[in-house]
Amino acid sequence: MQYSFYDWDGIGPATPAGLDNWKAIFTQPELLQSVVNAFVLVVFYTVLPVGLGLVAASFIRELKPGAFSTTARVVLFVPQVLPLVAAGIAWTWMYSSDGLVNQVLRAVGLDQYTRAWLGDFTFALPAVGVIGVWVMLGFCTVLLLAGIGKIDPALYEAARLDGAGPVSEFFAVTLPGLRRELVVCTTFTIIAALASFDVVQIATQGGPGYQTMVPGVQIYRMTFLQQHVGQASALAVFLAVVVLLVIWPIQRLGRQK
Asked whether the predicted pLDDT for residue 58 surpasses 80, the reply is yes
- What pTM does this model have? 0.89
Local structure of residue 64 (DSSP, 8 states): P
* Confidence at residue 257, expressed as pLDDT on a 0 to 100 scale: 64
The pLDDT-based confidence of 60 (bands split at 50, 70, 90) is confident
| Secondary structure (3-state) at 18 | coil
Give the tens place of pLDDT for each residue, 178-195.
989 999 999 999 999 999
Distance CA(34)–CA(128), nearest Å, equals 14
For residues 107-125, average pLDDT:
93
Local structure of residue 195 (DSSP, 8 states): T
Distance CA(172)–CA(188), nearest Å, equals 25
- What angle separates helix 124-150 from helix 48-62, to the nearest 10 degrees? 40
